[in-house]
Amino acid sequence: MKALSAALLALVLVACDQVPVSNGAARKVEDARARNDAPAIWRVRDEDSTLYLFGTVHLLPTGLNWQRDDMRDVFAQSGTVFFETDHTGAAGLRAQALATQIGLRRDGRRLTETLDNYQSKLLEAVANNGQLDLAALDSMQPWLASEFLTLSAANAAGLSADISPDEALKSRAARAGKNVIYFETPEDQVRQIAELPEAVQLELLTETMERFDEMDDMLAAIARDWAIGDVEALEAALVAPLEGAPDGYVKAVLLDRNDVWADRLERFMQGSGTGFVAIGTAHFLGEGSLIDALEARDYDVARYLAFLGEDVIKPARLELPDVPSGAE
């Protein structure tokens, strides 16, 4: 789904002091600021294959400038582009129909009948504070109510999935005639969360309700940290909260998918060519990440930066691009 909880979604500008250097060096430092203070990219490569891993966030504010030359350059080099799923056209309509079919209660019970007194009062408060229809929420399964509340908070923060990097890059790939591969169908994504045990869904809903009043600020901060490639801040916001997640949740929405996707990417690496992977940033962070899964398959994965100058972001995993012989 576009947003499973605040913990699964994704501008503090890096200050670069002026130094007395030549105009050429100063220009390179300026380029570094403009190009490396950007969403994180990792690179995987062997003798004849390269994959660029680009973490996305599924909700963005309008006007956020996130497209940099580094991303554009490696995207242009890539013949194949991998995305999580395609929410457009008939596939998206089928997913919406499925979400409605299995997300709205048809067992004669209301959501509030599955909640204790604290949770019921919390739902009433959230509906009141968010100016939401309590009766509509009461007709939903817990997972859909949690999703609805998260998207409502995102909307309050001025964030939208329609202008997300996922959608922008899908459009760019189509215009450029790229070979596009989707890891999952939209229906797969709906079922991953809808088929969680009800107790897990209720735990997620409770956490979403408890954080509802602060969620708009949290989601906006995630978008800002993502836009400058602050991986440490993103890990704290997206991965650390999952340590207390219900059993089975992290496995279903992150770990199992990372393992399956790593198998798909390994098959690509066994061939030749250049590819670009655009999926949610949380899949690249923390223990059991897609990066870990690729490294377990004996691939070297490193943070990719086009240029290192004075005072640019220096991530733990970084890699310089190849410099042609004789280049300064």
- Please give the pLDDT value at position 30: 52
Model confidence at 165, pLDDT cuts 50, 70, 90, reads: very high
Q: Which residue has the tokens 């066994």?
A: 270
Model confidence at 315, pLDDT cuts 50, 70, 90, reads: very low
pLDDT digits (tens, 9 = 90+) for 74-109: 999 999 999 999 988 787 888 889 999 999 998 889
- pLDDT, averaged across the chain: 83
pLDDT of residue 275 exceeding 60 = yes
Which position has the higher pLDDT, 234 or 5? Answer: 234
- Please give the pLDDT value at position 40: 94
- Please give the pLDDT value at position 304: 92
- Please give the pLDDT value at position 4: 37
pLDDT digits (tens, 9 = 90+) for 105-138: 988 899 999 999 999 999 999 999 999 999 999 9
- Please give the pLDDT value at position 241: 87
Model confidence at 150, pLDDT cuts 50, 70, 90, reads: very high
Q: Which of 257, 248, 283, 255 minimizes the C-alpha distance to 184?
A: 257
Model confidence at 160, pLDDT cuts 50, 70, 90, reads: confident
- Please give the pLDDT value at position 21: 31
Model confidence at 163, pLDDT cuts 50, 70, 90, reads: confident
pLDDT digits (tens, 9 = 90+) for 191-209: 999 999 999 999 999 999 9
Distance CA 155, CA 137 (A): 17
- Please give the pLDDT value at position 88: 80
Q: Mean of the pLDDT values across residues 2-17?
A: 30
Note the pTM of the prediction, 2 decimals: 0.82
Model confidence at 222, pLDDT cuts 50, 70, 90, reads: very high
pLDDT of residue 176 exceeding 60 = yes
- What string of H, E and C letters represents the secondary structure of the chain? CCCCCHHHCCCCCCCCCCCCCCHHHHHHHHHHHHHHCCCCEEEEECCCEEEEEEEECCCEECCCCCCCHHHHHHHHHCCEEEECCCCCHHHHHHHHHHHHHHHECCCCCCHHHHCCHHHHHHHHHHHHHCCCCHHHHHCECHHHHHHHHHHHHHHHCCEECCCCHHHHHHHHHHHHCCEEEECCCHHHHHHHHHCCCHHHHHHHHHHHHHCHHHHHHHHHHHHHHHHCCCHHHHHHHHHHHHHHCCCCHHHHHHHHHHHHHHHHHHHHHCCCEEEEEEEEHHHHCCCCCHHHHHHHCCCCEEEECCCCCCCCCCCCCCECCCCCCCCC
Q: Where are the domains of the chain?
A: 6-16+37-303
Characterize the bridge pairing of strands 49-56 and 41-45: antiparallel
